[in-house]
Amino acid sequence: MLRKRPYIAAIFLVVLGLVFGATLVTGFGSWKGMNLAFGASDPSLGGPLPSLPNDATIANLNGSFVAIAKAVQPTIVQINVKTEAPKISKNDKNNPFHFFGFGDNGDDEGMPFQFHMPQQGPEEGIGSGVIITTDGYILTNNHVVKDAAKKGGVQVKMTDKRVFDARVIGTDPTTDLAVIKIDATGLPVAALGNSDDIAVGQMVFAVGNPMGLESTVTQGIISSLGRPVNIFDRSETNNYGISNFIQTDAAINPGNSGGGLFNIRGEVVGINAAIASQTGTWMGYGFAIPINLAKEVVTDLIKTGKVNRGYIGVTIKGVDQTEAQALGLDRPRGVRIDQVTKGGAGEAAGLRENDVILSVDGREVDESNQLQSLIAMHHAGDHVTLRIWRDGKELEKTVTLKPRPEANEVASNDTGSDEEQSTEESASKSTATLDNIGMTVRTLTPEEKDKFHVSNGVMITDIQPASEAFDRALPRGAVVTEAAHQKVKNASDFERIVNANKGKAMGLMVTDSKGDSHFYALRVPSE
């Protein structure tokens, strides 16, 4: 019996090994380490599709995005511009609002042109454009092509890689728009939408050539409308620049200038023009020119090479709450006329300083840029009907628009007669300090009246910090000629008028050293 035990033990070990081997192959075969050890097939990666609500809607939306991009990309071109080297860099790097579209072909390619340093020889930049006719008219920005060399300065590259020389047909610095032309036929043309129909929150697509990346599409929403972004070269536009921009968060960058902002129907609703940035590249804020304004400009530029725009001939400002109360309005609304241009359309129609324009042809206006844009869509000779607030009443004025004057001459104050100055004035005190509004004034001398071209008034000699006058930005060294609709004869007269209006808002007519008259409103504390 004892001799048989080694054999039994051996048989037992063999059986145990077979069982263990079979278990490894069948039971643990899915274990990654065993798979690798025994040469099993590759592991199965990924899992089942997630269960999503409205997956068909999502797929349709994605398909729509693809279809829109495919449809509109051929209508956007890349514009290559060769310009003379700038003598002086005029732009302020610290200004957060910049044009974009120009970039060196050097190490800082794609940076906006305001960061360019003067160089020897020409510069090259990249912008974008929208094809608007089958025979080669292209809409872009004025700042993209305005400095192009006369010979061979502009080239256009299509999405199908064809390249054409282009000529500048016309530019409009007032709106930052321009039209160029290539010799071609049968071109794909962008559909032009109606920018009056757009609303904040609507989905849009920006198409252009940012950073030299051809035919790029980005998507976002309309973030705001009617933005008065000050991006114009005032020396060029003579203070007539029209700032009424569409704001979008669709990513746009240097090179997008002149490209299209499209709605979900594939229609152009804006022409991309600027970004708000501290770096020169996209930080979430882009601005486009409304296409309805562009349509009017383009038609004139194609026909005549220039814009026959009509002007009222007034300088204007928005109305805040204090000014509204001083003018007798129920709430801040409309646009106040600050000055009336001598010989302009507004003067001929009987418009006056401090009239408040409430509407144009039935369309309400509450901001200066709104009024500018509405008038900019009309030509010289057109008639517009203005609803006016004057002296507590509404009235209508029909204005026949005139072309822009050569010089910005404004109506001067009525000099009147020195005989209006009474003996009481000469006997009054010469200065008055009004602590309640934080202002000190002095009666004018005859020489100062001649200098300011006024017959009456008081000189503002001091403004106290953190006072009502300080907050309303009244200027030292200017002359108050009228307060609360009353002529100001001297310092005592001004003090009397101010104290009579305690607890109220009142308006002041103030003349500066150039002889220009401006309206200021301030609130006189009750105590």
* HSE (side-chain half, CA atoms, 13 Å) at 430: 3
Distance of alpha carbon 367 from alpha carbon 384, whole angstroms: 18
The tokens of 130 are what?
Answer: 């929208």
Catalytic residue, chosen from 128, 147, 172, 176, is 176
The tokens of 212 are what?
Answer: 């030299």
Query: Is 455 assigned a catalytic role?
Result: no
* HSE (side-chain half, CA atoms, 13 Å) at 51: 0
Q: 10 Å Cβ neighbour count for 22?
A: 10
Query: Is 492 assigned a catalytic role?
Result: no
φ and ψ at residue 208, rounded to 5 degrees: -175, -155
Alpha carbon separation from 187 to 133, 182, 223, 260 (Å, rounded): 7, 10, 32, 16
Identify which of 484, 397, 490 has the alpha carbon closest to the alpha carbon of residue 449: 490
Helix, strand, coil distribution of the chain in percent, nearest 5: 25, 30, 45
Query: According to DSSP H, which parts of 28-146 are helical?
Result: 32-38, 55-72, 142-145
The tokens of 70 are what?
Answer: 């495919």
Query: Is 176 assigned a catalytic role?
Result: yes
Catalytic residue, chosen from 98, 116, 143, 378, is 143
Identify which of 120, 109, 447, 403 has the alpha carbon closest to the alpha carbon of residue 254: 109
Whether the CA torsion 247, 251, 257, 258 is positive or negative: it is negative
Catalytic residue, chosen from 243, 257, 368, 373, is 257
Alpha carbon separation from 409 to 252, 258, 288, 341 (Å, rounded): 40, 34, 32, 6
Question: Which residue numbers are catalytic?
Answer: 143, 176, 257
